[in-house]
Structure formats: C-alpha cells, structure tokens
Amino acid sequence: MANNLICAESRKSRPFTVIVEGNIGCGKTTFLNYFQKYNNICVLSEPIELWRDCRGHNLLGHMYEDPKKWSFTFQSYVQLTMLQHHTLPTNCPVKLMERSIYSARYCFVEKMKRDGLLSKPSAAVIDQWFQWLLQNTPINVDLIVYLRSSPEVVYERMMKRNRSEEKSVPIEYLEQLNELHEQWLYHKTLYHCPAPVVTIDANLDISSIEEEYEKCEPHILNKLA
C-alpha cells in the first residue's frame, strides 16, 4: 500500500513526456514551434548547436566528413545530450522533446553498425551505456509523435535548407534512415517501442500541416493541468 502511494506520487510529479521522431528534414522543428504558444509545455529542441560546438569542436561536421573516425565520438555526445534532456527537471506538466536517446540508438547507431562505421567493440560500449541508462536513470516516455515522411520529400527539404554539414548526404542515406524509423515506429518490428505512437503525415506542406498537428494536439493538451 505504502509503495503504491509512493509510485502514485512520483508519477504525479514527473511531466507527461512526448518525443517527436522522424527522418532528417521531416519537420520536427516546425512541429515543436507550433507548441511554443503553450507556456505550460516545456519544449526541448534538439541540441544540434551543442553537437556543432563541443568545446569548439564541430562533432556533427566531423561525423559527416569522416564517419569511420568520428561516429563513436559523435554518438557518445548525442547520447549524453539526449540524456540531459530526458532528465531535465521541469515544473511544466508536459515535456515535448525533439528526438530521444531511443532514436539515437535504434536508428542512427543501428545504421552506423550496419554500414560498418562503428566497430563491434565501439558499438558494444555505446550499447552498454544505453542499457545502463535505461535501467538506472529516469528516462520516461509517455507518447511518441512520428512524423512519417517519404525520403524524396525530406531530401528536397534538406537540400533547400542547405545546412553546411549535410551537403553531401545522399538520398540513399535518408532512404535507409526512413526504413529504420518505419520498422521501429510503424511496423514495430525493430527493437522496442517505449510508448504509444501517434503518426502524422509529414509529407504535407506547411500550408496544410497544421490540420495534421491538430489531430494529435488533444493527446498532448489533455495532459495540461
């Protein structure tokens, strides 16, 4: 009985946590921006600026320039910065996060392993860390919003936004990342899905996407106190 009370109390005190997932360029930032208008939602954008400047080192750039040399370093840092977001305290009843420690492991690390960019020992170290973190730190996810897109659409968007590090990313990379997201979040045949998934058609352009957002808005707003 006492244990039940403690559990109920700790559930009450942590935010309802939503992670926003999908391929590169699918519109995660736009989705997050839509929810900025609610001041009782804690919106956490991906820490890409940290990845570009880790004590002066552009790890994202290094990873794209020489993936064999830098993938382990980059993924180690991604895992740390994602953990920082998962565990960041907030008084808001809802936390909305761009990506998660899960997509880093299940999509990006998985792809690097398959491409031979992470040696087996390096992949084992990342995975040991990942498993330990899941078991020993408060990484809680209550809902996943999957922005489902086609590789052709996101490739075009990525080229248009012209991020310097992504200049040489080929469409095949996005096709393979898409397949991993699909297996993980849509077909649910890859690894483990840590929460229920709401899927949104992210191929729609900016003028009609808000209607899609409205579909999942109640799932998020119902949790606001």
Residues classed as catalytic: 98
Structure tokens at 41: 């939602």
- Binding residue for ligand DGT (CB under 6 A) from 28, 62, 181, 223? 28
Angle, CA of 36, 38 and 44, to the nearest 5°: 45
DSSP 19-79: EEEESTTSSHHHHHHHGGG-TTEEEE---HHHHH-BTTB-HHHHHHH-HHHHHHHHHHHHH
Stretch in the footprint of ligand DGT (CB under 6 A) among 1-9, 21-29, 135-143, 182-190 = 21-29
Q: Which residue is listed with tokens 């957002």?
A: 213
| Element (DSSP H or E) covering residue 201 | strand 197-201
Q: Is 24 in the site for ligand DGT (CB under 6 A)?
A: yes
Q: Is 78 in the site for ligand DGT (CB under 6 A)?
A: yes
- Quick check: 23 and 178 in contact, CB under 8 A? yes
Stretch in the footprint of ligand DGT (CB under 6 A) among 1-9, 19-27, 178-186, 216-224 = 19-27
- Binding residue for ligand DGT (CB under 6 A) from 14, 40, 48, 213? 48
Q: Is 46 in the site for ligand DGT (CB under 6 A)?
A: yes
Q: Is 29 in the site for ligand DGT (CB under 6 A)?
A: yes
Q: Which residue is listed with tokens 């949104």?
A: 200
Q: Which is nearer to ligand DGT, 14 or 50 (CB)?
A: 50
Pairing of β 16-22 and β 143-148? parallel
Stretch in the footprint of ligand DGT (CB under 6 A) among 70-78, 87-95, 178-186, 214-222 = 70-78
Q: Is 175 in the site for ligand DGT (CB under 6 A)?
A: no
Q: At what angle do helices 67-87 and 120-136 cross, to 10 degrees?
A: 0
Q: Is 90 in the site for ligand DGT (CB under 6 A)?
A: no
Q: Which is nearer to ligand DGT, 48 or 193 (CB)?
A: 48
Q: Which is nearer to ligand DGT, 30 or 93 (CB)?
A: 30
Q: Is 108 in the site for ligand DGT (CB under 6 A)?
A: yes
Bridge partners (DSSP) listed for residue 200 = 147
User: Interface with ligand DGT by CB under 6 A: which residues?
Assistant: 22, 24-29, 46, 48, 60, 63, 74-75, 78, 99, 104, 108, 166
